[in-house]
Amino acid sequence: MSDYPASIDIMEEGPREGFQIEPGPIPTADKIALIDALSATGVQRIQVASFVNPKLVPGWADAEAVVAGFTPRAGVTYGALWFNPRGLERTLAFKDRLSVAGSITVSASEAFSKQNLNRDRPAQLDAMRSHVTEHLARGVAVNRVSVQAAFGCNFSGTVTTEQTVAAVVDAMALAAETGCAITRISIADSMGWANPAQVERVVGAVRSRWPEPAITLHLHDTRGLGIACALAGLRMGVRNFDAAVGGLGGCPFARHPGAPGNIATEELVFLCEEMGIATGIDLEALLEASALAERIVGHRLPSAMLRGGGLAAHRVKAA
């Protein structure tokens, strides 16, 4: 068991991911209630909103109201997502409540980048160069590299380890050129293609070439392998994971509606805690937050654990 980390650190993405994809309008008060419930679970980081164009993503038209409305809790870091200077400005208006740092985002699949952003590889790097410059001009550090489609792509098929490493090479070169110190490399299975053996290969290749930055795994459970891929990451010593309470969020790239998106936070916490890996999270409180999320969206969330429940009550009864 010696390869496993002693503890992990989870970025809870449920509020941001979940309220973006839901068809109906979610009341601002409900979004705030979920963030506050998550704050009480012990989770280290929460992404609370997306500062995106409300015409394109009406579900986040109330981003300012949500960020102004939640109750920050000591020890929890709150973040948001933005894509352009306007989004960065809106985020910076809340820099007393939000941790604001920039990311160089690249895609291991050029086809995904073209489909998603209408940019080929050079165009994406140009866009990222402007992105970095805008951040630095506002005094915002850029310390993270994020690789989308790092395992496979609905538009170009399987992504090789070499392609993923090449994407990181691009991003690290841009970081060096702009004087940014990268402390984290996020590897994202954006469309749910990863398998555990591939996670081991990709994490191993990235770590051996860039041993210093911490690796974050952003895994999707589109085809049911998300937690097995997290296990593979843990075996490689990865200790940073993104996850979404209840599996909130769904998968915008899946062929069928209703497919799970991000791995469910409670399943990741259960996996770790049962194996003696500390998460700092109260699983029962997290399951309550997950049930709250399900009531808010008004339909069944993908988390198996939300149905199966935790073991604490059984253990108490048995003791």
Residues in 75-114 at the binding interface with a copy of itself, rule: CB under 8 A: 111
User: Closest separation between CB of residue 147 and a copy of itself, Å?
Assistant: 19
Q: Fill in the per-residue mask, 286 to 315: x = in contact with a copy of itself (CB under 8 A), - = not in contact.
A: --------------x-xxxxxxxxxx-xxx
Residue in 29, 169, 176, 197 binding a copy of itself, rule: CB under 8 A: 197
Side by side, which strands form the sheet with 102-107? 77-82, 45-51, 9-12, 240-243, 214-218, 184-188, 142-148, 102-107
Dihedral pair phi/psi, residue 82, rounded to 5°: -150, 160
Residue in 152, 213, 246, 249 binding a copy of itself, rule: CB under 8 A: 152
Dihedral pair phi/psi, residue 278, rounded to 5°: -75, 140
Residue in 230, 238, 244, 245 binding a copy of itself, rule: CB under 8 A: 230
Examine residue 65 and tell whether it contacts a copy of itself (CB under 8 A): no
79's tokens:
């973040």
The C-alpha atoms of residue 113 and residue 115 are separated, in whole angstroms, by 5
Active site residues: 251
Q: Closest CB to a copy of itself among 65 and 275?
A: 275
User: Closest separation between CB of residue 310 and a copy of itself, Å?
Assistant: 8
Residue in 149, 264, 296, 297 binding a copy of itself, rule: CB under 8 A: 264
Q: Closest CB to a copy of itself among 58 and 204?
A: 204
Span from 42-50, 52-60, 128-136, 190-198 in contact with a copy of itself (CB under 8 A): 190-198
> Given the rule CB under 8 A, which residues bind a copy of itself?
1, 4, 111, 152-158, 192-193, 195-198, 221-228, 230-232, 251, 254-260, 264, 266-267, 270-271, 274-276, 300, 302-311, 313-315, 317-319
